[in-house]
Chain A
Amino acid sequence: MDTKEPVQRLVLLVDDETMPSDLYVRALERVGFKVEQRFDPDEALAFVEKEGQNIKAIILDVMMPPGSYGNKRTEDGLTTGVLLYADLQQRCPYVPIFVTTNTANHATLQQFPQGPLLRIIQKIDYPPRALIKLVQEMIDKEDANDVE
């Protein structure tokens, strides 16, 4: 594990559940990331509005609380997740977003608009260190693009 990463690289982690996101937080912090954890879409959006410029990566759980999102009604948690993703992506167009999921349903996952900075992560395939490795690679790639 590369521990020479800059200490203040900021990752936003959005999940209404604490498990396994707490493990991701611990793993990210172990390798020097600064992690901001948010548990609902409004908090996440508010944070992005304020700190969007500094965020290096976003980890977003696919299932968010159902009910409503903004002024839209959401029948299920996936719809909330899709809407939140769209807003995050719009506000941070150059930030890699890792959508984590436990569902294998391709049709479900296709509801996320595809893009070069979107990665859909099956949680069971990505234990914390594997996820962090991927996050680091994507951030490095984006940083390299910025230099170019």
Chain B
Amino acid sequence: MKFGYETIIWGREIDDLDTVLDIIAGAGYQGVEFSQWPGRLPPIQDLLKMLEDRQLALIGFSGGTLYERIKYCGNYRPEHLIVFDWSELAEKATADGFKFALHPHLHKPKHRIEEVFDLLKKHDKLLFLPDTALLTIAGDDPVEAIQRAFQLGKGRLVGVHLKDWSPEYGHAAHRYAYGFTELGTGIIELEAVLRELQQSHFTGWMIVEQDNTRKDIPTSVSESAQWLANKGFSVVPRKASALSSPKPRIPAKRPTTFSADDEARFLKAISRASTMELNACYDQIAASFSELVPDSLVMVMMCNPINNVVSLLSLANGISTQYDEYSHAQRTANLLTDGHYAAALGKLTLEFEKTLSGVAVERQTTTSFDLTTPHPGAEYGYPSANLGYSKLCEQLGLTRMVGIPVLGISNPRHARLIVNIFSPANDRLAHQDELEYLFYLSQYAGIAADSALDEICSFAAASVNILAGPSTTTNGFLEKIRDLILELVECEAISIFLINDIDTKLELATSTTNADWRVPENEQFYAKGEGLTGQVWDRREALLTTDTNQEPGHSGKSAERVITERKACLMAPLVNSRNEVVGVVRCMNKHESRPQDLRMFTNDDVAILEAIGQAAVPHLQILLSEEWRARALGRMIHEFKTPLVAIRGAADLMDAEFEKRRTSAVEFFDHDYLEDIWAWSDIMRRLLGNADVFRYPSLEIPLQPQPTLLLKHVVAPAVNQVQILLRNRGFSQNSIRYGSFTVIPDLWIDRSQFQQVIFNLLSNAIKYCYHDAKSFQVAIVGEIEAGDFVVRFRDWGPGISREMREAIFREGIRDTNAIKDNVAGQGLGLWVVRKIVEAHGGEVLVTKLRQPTEISIYLPHSLASRPPRS
């Protein structure tokens, strides 16, 4: 294997190529692959000489349009040229001796294994150059990709981009590239890849690539080389490198076209944009360029490369001022779409590689186009590039367009935005220094756009954390998340699907419109890969589309009810910390809140959904796990109750048999064992009752309220239930006294749950009276206080310490003395008391610490007339 290095780490432009090549050679690499636009490289023969001087091989090129790269090579044939798809040009150049390597890349047309191998099988001259990190991020296995490439035949695998990645910045397009890191410091299974290649005696290129670094570049280059050397690979540093990192490129000198005031005004306006809401930010960017270049039409567009399209975000028309702002924008929009507003969306989502914008993005620099020529893209190898808005050009007399790629801050491969400036003046902005200057300024627009997006993402994540607080159920939480998405992504309808416990189905959890299913009732789910929704589960990546019906694999199995006809759709996976999909969010039809707002879903929306998902999934998993445990505990309690019911039933029949024989258990056994069975099974029932409440830690306790007399239906039965505990401890049965409760009418409460309350208080009093059995005394009285009903429970036991006054009602908290004196219990009894009382709208407090200890249960007066509010 041979090891080379990719120059992308130096950005779009290399100021000092000699130094860069020295760093690469010094670290021990044997070849170089260039990602810069050839327009920024020395002539090919000079480049080859520079490489030869350092014993470096030229591996290939990936920057600029394919046409420009072919043209740059002249008679020289590099080992390969990187392509992202097959094309007529590639076909033609192959006949001319060029070799092309298909490079699966996120946000490019072919980036999943299946698509890649379909294409490789179709074109047997096409070589393969996978990227370890990008395949992993996309959800594929790089080792599998390599194995399948070997199966295609010798020589098809031309090389591998060795790249490591850490998921800490997430998957969103504007952030994921921050995660690229030095070899061996991320999550990519590089050793498995290298092992596979070694075992297969691979002799091609291993090209170390890292789009950016937080270290200085020579250190980063050298650390990755050192990692390879430590693994026993032949990357041997040639000399101790004392080289410093090249300095960042100083922006070009301001051309005379623009004044210092223009620049100051522009930067001030862009600075304001960074603090704005996202849509306003894009409008501000359009307005700022419009002000900078008077008498122009400015479009701010977004690359949406998953679908290989660009879409319009905002426009500012400074050419004509004869209309007011509103109708002006609407008129321009109509011109853009030949007057058919309804079809606007389709018309303004232009195929990326057929637009002039595509040229500028491929070249990673500002490019000026003469619109008066019949095929302005031909010069750059884009003969089919059209503007898509010829009527606009005709009506406004536009003759020149300047395309400015606003490159991502984290990833120069990803153009965050494209700013197109149209002008009626053909000699306008045609000079290189003007274009360089605009590119320089545009990077501030990129920072502002990222900043505005990060702001909304942070807000989204913080909102999720707030929403998770008062959430009680998974469904309740998901409904809140759904509404948050509705607000932030601004669409007509949303559904959230979750994968079931055994990973077999994607089921609807919540929807804004009760998603309609066009399938039999028992098939209301998606299997993995089924339909677009199932594909998102399978592929672990967001899907953006302007029309679901046009998508391959669209099954039409279910749909949200929407207002407008079109079916623009965004689907995004919900991913957990183990990078597993736990659900899918499906959003339909982005709002058109303003006439000029010709919107489809964008990568910004994907980023917002990811931020919401990243914050929501941990909460969701806790809720799901809690509810699963509650269900499991419920089943266990149910299982316990069956034998308990049978034991009580058997005792009941035994009692009946004694009656029939005119005798009794006492007479027969000399002890009332049947009464023991009843009493102990009552205790067991109450313990199960505590467990029943315990399984609803964050849910409402289910209540069956009915008119209840506290004394008759609650206190007396509970006292009866603890008789055996009293007997067991040798306490007098008369030690529990209770008042008449005459002041309290029938109350709408759950009898059984309130028996549980009194039972827990009594059993606590009995348990904790461990110092002096004779001192055991309990009094229960009913009173009215300030209109509310109060049950006072008093005991003359050891009392409660002041610091435990509140804490004793918390889950799992036990008095320190109880632990010291080895009193049995789990610290649940009083917690259950509080849960039940609160479920009835009441409150329980310690109102006296000792002699007697008094616990007061306050119940709202409304319970006299109606059940507690659910």
Partners in one complex: yes
Question: Contact at A123–B702, with CB atoms within 8 Å?
Answer: no
A73 to B704, CA, bound (A): 29
Within 3-28 of A, Cβ neighbours of B (below 8 Å) are at: 17, 19-20, 23-24, 26-27
A137 to B645, CA, bound (A): 22
B641 partner, pick from A1, A30, A73, A124, beta carbons under 8 A: A124
Enumerate chain A residues within 8 angstroms of B702, measured Cβ to Cβ. 104-108
Question: Does A128 reach chain B (CB closer than 8 Å)?
Answer: yes
B577 close to A (CB within 8 Å): no
Stretch at the interface among B193-201, B382-390, B581-589, B647-655: B647-655
Q: Does A111 contact B (CB under 8 A)?
A: no
Q: What separation, in Å, do the CA atoms of A130 and B646 have in the docked complex?
A: 14
Q: At the interface, yes or no: B752 with Cβ under 8 Å from chain A?
A: yes
CB-CB contacts below 8 Å: B640-666 with A: 641-646, 648-653, 655-656, 659
B802 at the interface (CB under 8 A from A): no
Whether B703 contacts A106 by the Cβ 8 Å rule is yes
Check A124 against B645 for contact (C-beta < 8 Å).
yes
The answer to the question of A129 belonging to the interface, with a C-beta cut-off of 8 Å to chain B, is: yes
A27 / chain B contacts, CB cutoff of 8 Å: 649, 652-653, 656
Given A23-B649, A124-B648, A127-B648, A102-B656 contact (CB < 8 Å): no
Cross-chain contact B653 with A123 (CB below 8 angstroms): no
CB closest residue in chain B, given A31: B656
| A:26-84 near B, CB below 8 Å | 26-27, 30, 72-73
Q: Which residues of A contact B645 (CB under 8 A)?
A: 19-20, 102, 123-124
Across the interface, do A23 and B646 meet the contact criterion of CB distance under 8 Å? yes
Closest chain-B Cβ to A122's Cβ sits at a distance in Å of 8
Closest to A105 in B: B702
Which of chain A's residues 109-137 have a Cβ closer than 8 Å to chain B? 109, 122-125, 127-130
Evaluate contact between A73 and B649: CB separation under 8 angstroms. no
Q: A63 — nearest CB in chain B belongs to which residue?
A: B638
Most buried by B among A23, A27, A73, A130: A23
Residue of A nearest to B644 (CB): A124
CA A20 to CA B646, docked complex, whole Å: 5
Name, among B638, B659, B702, B752, the residue most crowded by chain A CB atoms within 10 Å (CB to CB): B702
Number of interface residues of B (CB under 8 A): 25
B650 / chain A contacts, CB cutoff of 8 Å: 23
Cα separation A106 to B692 with both chains bound (whole Å): 13
Set of chain B residues within 8 Å of A73, measured between Cβ atoms: 521-522
Q: A128 vs B634: C-alpha distance in the bound complex, in angstroms?
A: 24
Complex CA gap A108/B634 in Å reads 12
Set of chain B residues within 8 Å of A130, measured between Cβ atoms: 652
Collect the chain A residues with CB atoms within 8 Å of residue B646's CB.
19-20, 23
Min CB distance, A134 to chain B, in Å? 14
The smallest C-beta distance from A70 to any residue of chain B, in angstroms, reads: 13
Cross-chain contact B642 with A128 (CB below 8 angstroms): no
Decide: A128 near B641, CB < 8 A? Known: A19-B646, A106-B702, A106-B704.
no
Option from A17, A104, A123 in Cβ contact (under 8 Å) with B692: A104
A19 touches B642 (CB 8 A): yes
Decide: A124 and B704 in contact? CB cutoff 8 A.
Answer: no
Residues B752 and A104 in contact, CB atoms below 8 Å apart: yes
Residues of A within 8 A of B638 (CB): 102-103
CA–CA, A128 and B643, complex, Å: 14
Query: Do A102 and B652 form a contact, CB below 8 Å, given A73-B521, A73-B522?
Result: no
User: Are B648 and A129 neighbours in the complex by a CB distance under 8 Å?
Assistant: no
Distance in angstroms between the alpha carbons of A104 and B521 in the assembled complex: 29
Given contacts A17-B642, A123-B645, contact A128 B704 (CB under 8 A): no
Contact B656 A30 (CB under 8 A): yes
Whether A129 lies near B656 (C-beta < 8 A) is yes
Q: Does B685 sit at the interface, judged by CB under 8 A?
A: yes
Q: Would A129 and B652 count as touching, CB distance under 8 A?
A: yes
**Known contacts A73-B521, A73-B522, A127-B648: A102-B653 contact under CB 8 Å:** no
Q: Say which size band chain A's interface belongs to.
A: 20 to 34
Taken together as a complex, chains A and B put the C-alpha atoms of A103 and B631 apart, in Å, by 12
Min Cβ gap A36→B in Å is 20
CB <8 Å contact, B652 and A128: yes
Chain B residues, Cβ within 8 Å of A17? 642
A17 to B649, CA, bound (A): 15
Task: Kindly state the separation between the CA atoms of A123 and B653 in the bound complex, as whole angstroms.
Answer: 15
Q: Which residue of the partner chain, among B649, B659, B685, B692, contacts A20 with CB atoms under 8 Å?
A: B649
Chain A residues with CB below 8 A from B642, complex form: 17, 19-20, 102
Q: Which of B356-388 contact A (CB under 8 A)?
A: none
**CA–CA, A24 to B648, complex, Å?**
12
Known: A23-B646, A23-B650, A127-B648. A102 touches B522 (CB 8 A): no
- Residues facing A in B676-717 (CB within 8 A) are 685, 692, 702-704
Shortest Cβ gap from A10 to chain B (Å): 21
Residue of B nearest to A109 (CB): B704
In the bound complex, what is the Cα–Cα distance between A122 and B634 (angstroms)? 15
The distance from the CB of A135 to the nearest CB of chain B, in whole angstroms, is: 14
Complex CA distance for A122 and B750, rounded to whole angstroms:
13
User: With A27-B656, A104-B692, A104-B704 as given contacts, are A127 and B649 in contact (CB-CB < 8 Å)?
Assistant: yes
Q: Is there contact, CB below 8 Å, between A127 and B652? A: yes
CB of B708 to closest CB in A, whole Å: 14
User: CB-CB < 8 A to B655: which residues of A?
Assistant: 129
Q: Which of B634, B641, B649 has the most CB of A within 10 A?
A: B649
B659 / chain A contacts, CB cutoff of 8 Å: 1
A1 and B656 contact, CB distance less than 8 A: yes
In the assembled complex, the CB of B433 is this many whole angstroms from the nearest CB of chain A, namely 70
- A48 to B8 Cα, complex, angstroms: 79
Q: Which residue from chain A places its CB closest to the CB of B678 in the assembled complex?
A: A127
For the complex formed, measure the closest distance between the CB of B645 and the CB atoms of chain A, giving whole angstroms.
4
Contact A23 B641 (CB under 8 A): no
Q: How far is the CA of A30 from the CA of B656 in the complex (A)?
A: 10
Minimum distance in angstroms from A128 CB to a CB of chain B: 5
Give bound CA distance, A91 to B703, whole Å.
Answer: 31
CB distance from B513 to the nearest CB of A (A): 24
State whether A23 touches B752 (Cβ < 8 A).
no
- If A102-B642, A124-B641, A127-B648 touch, whether A23 touches B704 (CB-CB below 8 Å) is no
Closest-CB distance, A25 to chain B (whole angstroms): 11
B427 to chain A, nearest CB (A): 73
Among A20, A27, A107, residue most surrounded by chain B Cβ atoms (within 10 Å): A20
A125 to chain B, nearest CB (A): 8
Name the distance in Å between A8's Cβ and chain B's nearest Cβ: 22
Cα A69 to Cα B205 with chains together (Å): 63
CA distance A134 to B521 in the complex (A): 39
Q: Are A26 and B641 in contact (CB under 8 A)?
A: no
Q: Tell me the complex Cα distance, A102–B642, Å.
A: 7
A119 CB to closest chain B CB, in angstroms? 13
Q: Is the CB of A124 within 8 A of B656?
A: no
- B692: which A residues are within 8 A, CB to CB? 104
Query: Which A residues touch B703, using CB under 8 A?
Result: 106
Closest Cβ of chain A: how far from B780's Cβ, in Å?
A: 23
Residues on B with beta carbons closer than 8 Å to the beta carbon of A108? 702
Cβ-closest chain A residue relative to B640: A102
Closest to A30 in B: B656
| Residues from chain B with Cβ under 8 Å of A109 in the complex | 704
Q: Which of B36-65 contact A (CB under 8 A)?
A: none
**Chain B residues within 8 Å of A106, by CB:** 702-704
Residues of the A chain whose Cβ atoms lie less than 8 Å from the Cβ of B653: 23, 26-27, 128-129
- Interface flags, B418-441, vs A, CB<8A=1, else 0: 000000000000000000000000
In whole angstroms, how far apart are the Cα atoms of A124 and B641 in the complex? 8
Can you spell out 5 A-B residue pairs with CB atoms less than 8 angstroms apart? A73-B522, A105-B634, A106-B702, A106-B704, A127-B652
| Chain A interface residues toward B at CB < 8 A | 1, 17, 19-20, 23-24, 26-27, 30, 72-73, 102-109, 122-125, 127-130
Closest 5 CB pairs of A and B: A127-B652, A23-B649, A102-B641, A73-B522, A106-B702
With A27-B652, A105-B634, A129-B655 known, 18 other A-B pairs at CB within 8 A are A19-B642, A19-B645, A19-B646, A20-B642, A20-B646, A23-B650, A23-B652, A24-B649, A27-B653, A27-B656, A73-B522, A103-B638, A104-B752, A106-B703, A107-B702, A123-B645, A128-B656, A129-B652
